């Protein structure tokens, strides 16, 4: 069974943890654009060298370069039967690029999993994590700013996918297994039963 998925959620919603679980469940790679950038930079690929030069200069990696990196990653054999994207697409232009890329392969997205939670609860969760991990820079002010930036950047992309009926909202509050079960139930309801 193939599954082509995207996961979105505000900072603190447990996106990274749940992405790994979903990927394992469906035997597909969890693909984070941050990981793609780091891998290409570490390997010194031509795309990685271009990305590194931009990042070293404090610039954002533009859509065209991000799209190329994602295209290369999705062409790898482990993504042949599906993938879970985390951190991509981030712009409406990237949504359109991904549409075209999948259409070339005769594929389309199956589901966009949106982890949702009360903002104050997530701020509390992140403040507790910051205290446990000694992250002095994770203040309530910086956490709330990251939440605001996430909402501003992600809302237009989620709106596009909502219009297409692809978004499933999953309550992100609770234990890791509890949230994982909610995601599994939501995907099964959309016709994507977990691989056995």
By annotation, the residues acting in catalysis are 15, 90, 129, 135, 146
**DSSP per position, the chain:** --EEEEEE--TTS-HHHHHHHHHHHHT--EEEHHHHHHHHHHHT-HHHHHHHHHHHTTPPPPHHHHHHHHHHHHTSGGGTTEEEEES---SHHHHHHHHHHHHHTT----EEEEEE--HHHHHHHHHHHHHHHT-TT--HHHHHHHHHHHHHHHHHHHHHHHHTT-EEEEE--S-HHHHHHHHHHHHHHTT-PPP-
For residue 85, whether the previous peptide bond is cis, meaning omega lies within 30 degrees of 0, is no
Using alpha carbons only, give the angle 111, 114, 116 rounded to the nearest 5 degrees: 155
């Amino acid at each position: 069974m193939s599954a082509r998925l995207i996961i979105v959620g505000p900072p603190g919603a447990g996106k990274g943890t749940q992405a790994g679980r979903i990927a394992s469940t469906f035997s597909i790679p969890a693909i984070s654009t941050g990981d793609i950038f780091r891998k290409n930079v570490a390997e010194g690929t031509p795309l990685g060298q271009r990305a590194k030069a931009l990042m070293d200069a404090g610039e954002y990696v533009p859509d065209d370069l991000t799209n190329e990196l994602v295209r290369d990653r999705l062409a790898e054999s482990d993504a042949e039967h599906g993938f879970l994207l985390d951190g991509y697409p981030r712009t409406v232009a990237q949504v359109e690029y991904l549409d075209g890329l999948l259409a070339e392969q005769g594929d389309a997205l199956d589901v966009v999993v949106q982890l949702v939670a009360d903002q104050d609860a997530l701020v509390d969760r992140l403040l507790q994590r910051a205290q446990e991990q000694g992250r002095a820079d994770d203040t309530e002010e910086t956490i709330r700013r990251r939440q605001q930036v996430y909402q501003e950047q992600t809302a237009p992309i989620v709106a596009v996918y909502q219009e297409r009926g692809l978004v499933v909202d999953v309550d992100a509050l609770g234990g890791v297994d509890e949230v994982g079960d909610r995601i599994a139930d939501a995907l099964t309801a959309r016709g994507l039963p977990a691989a056995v």
